Amino acid sequence: MRTAIFKNGGKDRRISLRATSSQEQLIRAAAIRKGVSVTDFVLECACRRAEHTIAGQVHFTLSDKQWKAFTEALERPARVKPRLRKLLAEPSILESR
């Protein structure tokens, strides 16, 4: 979700907020250390927090038939995936350095 938000390019909306002097200094210092503008820093942090908040509240409703199919799928034994097993047995690119 985050990549879709930031790939979109041109920003056409304005969000205004008030902050204390110490909050502004903290945010500016963090943005500088990260090498981004204050706008990009605040948007990235706010979007990350918004995604987390929304993800924690998402739920779904199923009919009895759908619930039965869902729980049966969860209870089925896992299938062996040889290509996945091979991939996970290989060292990652981070480990091979």
The pLDDT of residue 16 is above 90: yes
What's the total number of domains in the chain? 1
Helix 38-55 to helix 21-34 angle, to the nearest 10 degrees?
Answer: 100
Q: Is there a domain that residue 94 lies in?
A: no
54: in domain: yes
What is the per-residue pLDDT across 31-57, written as a single tens digit (0 to 9) for each? Answer: 999 999 999 999 999 999 999 889 877
pTM equals 0.52
Q: Is residue 95 part of a domain?
A: no
Those residues whose C-beta lies under 8 Å from the C-beta of residue 34, and which sit 6 or more positions away, are 41
* Mean pLDDT to the nearest integer, 3-31: 84
In the predicted structure, residue 3 carries a pLDDT above the cut 80: no
Classify 49 as helix, strand or coil.
helix
In a domain, 97, yes or no: no
Cβ pair 39, 49 in contact under 8 A: no
Domain boundaries, position 55 = 2-89
Q: Is the residue at 76 inside a domain?
A: yes
User: Domain for residue 63, yes or no?
Assistant: yes
1 band by pLDDT with thresholds 50, 70 and 90: very low
